[in-house]
Amino acid sequence: MAKASSNDGGESYSGHCLCGAVHYRVTGPLEDPHICHCGMCRRQSGHFVAAAAAKRADFAMTGEDHLSWFDSSDFARRGFCRHCGSILFWDDGSEWVGINMGSLDQPTKLRLERHIFVEDKADYYDIDDDLPRFRGLDQPVT
């Protein structure tokens, strides 16, 4: 899901859902900021999803009892606030937790790095930037 990272850069991030019931903090880098065009992200979010990956060891949440998980596949679940509906997390049980970037407090000082699942893009928009594009997670589109 993301490349290896070191945790000595002093980065930290915070974020929360729209109603504020669920807060989180990441005390370490956020890796691989990307846009996912897959059909599941589109249906859950209403468009596409911008997400980045935090090391699970760097991740802490408050208000977890307000979070609901939806098992969107046989290997991953999606966390959202059961009060306001904000979609926050993607969790495949690995050492990484996916964080939806719209929930991050500003400034993030991050930049999007790539598009994934571009083959699943909907027909009502175009990808019109110069970021690298991938089929699925990691097959480059040339």
For residues 32 and 53, is the Cβ–Cβ distance under 8 A?
yes
Question: At its nearest, how many Å lie between Zn ion and the CB of residue 42?
Answer: 8
Instruction: Pick the closer one to Zn ion by CB: 11 or 77.
Output: 77
- The number of residues that bind Zn ion (CB under 5 A) is 9
For residues 91 and 97, is the Cβ–Cβ distance under 8 A?
yes
The helix/strand/coil state of 1 is coil
Residue numbers 19-78 binding Zn ion by CB under 5 A: 19, 21, 36, 38, 41
Question: At its nearest, how many Å lie between Zn ion and the CB of residue 17?
Answer: 3
Show the tokens assigned to 83: 């009060």
Question: At its nearest, how many Å lie between Zn ion and the CB of residue 1?
Answer: 12
For residues 127 and 113, is the Cβ–Cβ distance under 8 A?
no
Residues 6+ apart with CB under 8 A from 69: 77, 78, 79, 91
List the one residue from 2, 67, 81, 118 that touches Zn ion (CB under 5 A).
81
Under the rule (CB under 5 A), what is the footprint of Zn ion?
17, 19, 21, 36, 38, 41, 81, 83-84
